[in-house]
Amino acid sequence: MNTTDSSISTKRVIAGNVLIFLGGFVLLFTAGVKLAQIPKVVDQFNAFGFDGSKLVMVAALELTCAVLFLIPATRSVGLLLVSSYLGGAIATHIQHGQSLLPPAIVLTLLWLGAWLRHPELLWSLNRIRLSHKTQLDSTYPKAALQR
């Protein structure tokens, strides 16, 4: 499915952009909080095993992922990196008995925004659906499919 900006509705583009920038802002904000060494955040990350330079590295990774995701030309790479980064955050939260909802919600917002803005993102699912429909069309008479 080759989708261009002109083939998706304006509302969908706006909704996608809002979610992309909302999720991107959250990542930029949380990276800034880590870089600012806010005591509560430092304590939490120390408990996770990320202290000193490791916390700065985590913040730098988050910042890099967010910037790559927010720039349209690098969004596909950014989405891959953000997904990896937040997958690690989800695993860390589970490992330490904390709720996985905060990173999972941010990841969901980013994927939903990317899909709304770039429907071709999930192109392989359309191939599966079209392949299945083609198999049905060749197997069953058209009258049976219309029921």
Residue with the bigger pLDDT between 2 and 98: it is 98
pLDDT in the model for residue 139: 56
What does the mean pLDDT of the chain come to? 87
Which has the closest alpha carbon to 89: 110, 70, 69, 107? 107
Tell me the average pLDDT across 8-22. 95
Tell me the average pLDDT across 95-104. 96
pLDDT in the model for residue 1: 41
Q: How confident is the model at residue 130 (pLDDT cuts 50, 70, 90)?
A: low
Q: How confident is the model at residue 44 (pLDDT cuts 50, 70, 90)?
A: very high
Residues 124/8, Cβ–Cβ less than 8 Å: no
Tell me the average pLDDT across 97-106. 96
Q: What is the spatial distance between Cα 77 and Cα 64, in angstroms, rounded to a whole number?
A: 11
